[in-house]
C-alpha cells in the first residue's frame, strides 16, 4: 500500500513537500505516512487521493480484502465522492 503511495507521487513528479502542502500537513508527517511510521485516517486518505485525481481505494485498498469488504470500502468512497461534488 505505502509503496503505491510513493509510486503515485513520483509518477506525478511531486515532492513530499508538494503533496503535504496540498493536503495541509507537514512534509515530515507526509513522509512518515509514506514510510509507514504514521497511521492514515480516512479523511486524509481522501485528500491525498484527490491530489492524484483518483479515489482512496485505488491507492490504499488492501488487495487482501475479501470482495464484500472491498465493496464496503468502495461504497464509502463513492458516497464521500458524491458528497464533495
Residues 6+ apart with CB under 8 A from 32: 38
Whose CA is closest to 77, among 55, 44, 59? 55
| Cell numbers representing residue 64 in the block | 487482501
Q: Which residue ranges form the domains of the chain, and what is each CATH number? A: 2-84 (1.10.260.40)
**Confidence band for 85, pLDDT divided at 50, 70 and 90:** very low
**Mapping DSSP to helix (H, G, I), strand (E, B) and coil, where does residue 38 land?**
coil
The pLDDT value recorded for residue 3 is 84
Query: What are the angstrom distances between the C-alpha of 12 and each of 8, 17, 41?
Result: 6, 13, 23
Residue 31 pLDDT: 95
pLDDT score of 60: 85
Q: Is the pLDDT of residue 1 over 90?
A: no
Backbone angles phi, psi at 12, to 5 degrees: -85, -5
37-64 confidence digits (pLDDT tens): 999 899 999 999 999 999 998 898 875 5
Amino acid at each position: 500500500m505505502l509503496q503505491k503511495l510513493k509510486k503515485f507521487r513520483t509518477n506525478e513528479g511531486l515532492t513530499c513537500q508538494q503533496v503535504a502542502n496540498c493536503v495541509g500537513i507537514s512534509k515530515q508527517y507526509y513522509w512518515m505516512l509514506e514510510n509507514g511510521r504514521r497511521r492514515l485516517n480516512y479523511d486524509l486518505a481522501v485528500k491525498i487521493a484527490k491530489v492524484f485525481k483518483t479515489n482512496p481505494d485505488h491507492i490504499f485498498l488492501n488487495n487482501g480484502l475479501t470482495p464484500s469488504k472491498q465493496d464496503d470500502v468502495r461504497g464509502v468512497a463513492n458516497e464521500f465522492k458524491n458528497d464533495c461534488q
